[in-house]
């Protein structure tokens, strides 16, 4: 399940980072990639019942929980004024080709033009939806990280059972 969540987080943050260079989205992308890798370690440890792999999975999952929870809280707590600042900085740094692509994709003209069809509200809507969706998913699944740590601790302390252990 965590592998699917990791892929989902990576996809959402890369999709949201297409038009803008928001500073927190690469951190969330990295969390998604690390989540996938840690999940593979946990999968290996549970299949082989390897105590060392399960221990590292447990420790790394706990660390990832802290990082993922912090980043998710940052994504959910960002305000519209900050989003506007990010959008304006990125617009000013963008090439003319990217600006034309944004105007074409969002069906708008200019960044903050006096016309009712300015790009700012549409860009803010995209940034806001990316932050909220990515942050909500990361926040919800950061708690599954904690559940994984607790279950791994419980599973790790079980004895290794073989098919013929009772014979």
pLDDT, one tens digit per residue, over 146-166 is: 888 888 888 776 666 555 555
Nearest CA among 126, 90, 128, 127 for reference residue 111:
90
Average pLDDT, the chain: 81
For 118, the token pair is 């300015």
SS3 content of the chain, % helix, strand, coil (to 5): 75, 0, 25
- Place 19 in a pLDDT band, splitting at 50, 70 and 90: low
Residues above pLDDT 70, as percent of the chain = 88
Q: What is the pTM of this model?
A: 0.67
Domain boundaries, the chain: 2-156
Which residue has better confidence, 26 or 18? Answer: 26
Cα–Cα distances in angstroms (integers) from residue 21 to residues 65, 88, 121, in the given order: 25, 11, 17
For residue 35, the SS3 value is: helix
Token couple for 109? 């003209």
> How confident is the model over 30-86, as pLDDT tens digits?
878 888 998 898 889 888 878 888 888 888 888 888 888 888 898 888 888 888 888
**How far is 5 from 141, CA to CA, in rounded Å?**
8
Q: What is the pLDDT of residues 85-111, one digit of tens each?
A: 888 888 888 888 888 888 888 888 888
| Structural tokens at position 9 | 């987080």
Residue 24 has pLDDT above 60, yes or no: yes
Helix (H) or strand (E) holding 81: helix 80-93
- Would you state the pLDDT for residue 167? 47
- The answer to whether 6 touches 36, Cβ cutoff 8 Å, is yes
């Amino acid at each position: 399940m965590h592998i699917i969540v990791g892929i989902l987080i990576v996809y959402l943050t890369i999709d949201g980072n297409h038009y803008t260079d928001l500073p927190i989205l690469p951190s969330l992308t990295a969390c998604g990639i690390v989540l996938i890798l840690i999940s593979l370690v946990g999968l290996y440890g549970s299949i082989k019942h390897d105590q060392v792999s399960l221990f590292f999975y447990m420790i790394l999952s706990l660390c990832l929980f802290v990082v993922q929870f912090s980043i998710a809280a940052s994504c959910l707590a960002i305000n519209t004024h900050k989003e506007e600042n990010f959008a304006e900085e990125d617009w000013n740094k963008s090439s003319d080709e990217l600006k034309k692509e944004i105007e074409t994709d969002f069906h708008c003209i200019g960044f903050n033009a006096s016309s009712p069809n300015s790009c700012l509200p549409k860009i803010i809507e995209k940034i806001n939806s990316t932050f909220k969706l990515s942050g909500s998913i990361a926040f919800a699944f950061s708690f599954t990280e904690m559940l994984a740590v607790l279950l791994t601790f419980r599973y790790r302390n079980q004895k290794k059972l073989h098919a013929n252990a009772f014979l």
